[in-house]
Chain A
Amino acid sequence: MKHNVYIYILIMALVTFAIRVLPLTLIRKKIKNRFLRSLLYYIPYVTLAVMTFPAIMDATRSPIAGAAALVLGIVLAWFGAGLFKVSAACCILVLILEFFLVK
Chain B
Amino acid sequence: MTNKPKNISPRRQVLRQGLRDGVPIGMGYFAVAFSLGIAARRAGLTAFQGFLTSALINASAGEYAGFKFIEENAAYLAAAVMTLVANARYFLMSCALSQKIDPDTPLRHRVLLGFYITDEFFGITISRKDFDPFYTYGAVMFAAPCWAVGTALGIIAGNLLPAFLVSALSVALYGMFLAIIIPPSRQNKIVGLFVLIGFALSFAASRLPFLANVSDGTKTIVLTLVISAAAAALFPLKEVPDDEA
Contact = CB atoms under 8 A, between A and B. Distances in A.
Contact of A53 (B57, B83, B93, B202): B202
The dominant DSSP class at the B interface is: helix
A41 B245 contact: yes
A9 B179 contact: no
Interface string B205-245: 01100000000100110011101110111011100100001
B92 A44 contact: yes
Interface residues of B, number: 106
Contact of A83 (B58, B117, B176): B176
A46 B227 contact: yes
A22 to B, nearest CB: 7
Nearest to B169: A91
The interface residues of chain A, by DSSP majority, are classed as helix
Contacts, number: 304
Contacts of B107: 25
B229 A39 contact: yes
Interface in A24-52: 24-25, 27-28, 30-31, 34-35, 37-52
Chain A: number of interface residues, binned into ranges = 35 or more
A47 B220 CA distance: 7
B174 A41 contact: no
21 contacts: A8-B69, A12-B63, A12-B79, A19-B90, A23-B98, A25-B110, A30-B240, A38-B235, A43-B88, A49-B196, A50-B219, A73-B174, A77-B182, A80-B183, A83-B28, A84-B27, A84-B28, A86-B179, A87-B171, A91-B171, A95-B168
Given A8-B76, A24-B110, 9 more contacts: A24-B113, A40-B95, A44-B88, A46-B227, A47-B198, A60-B170, A78-B186, A91-B172, A98-B164
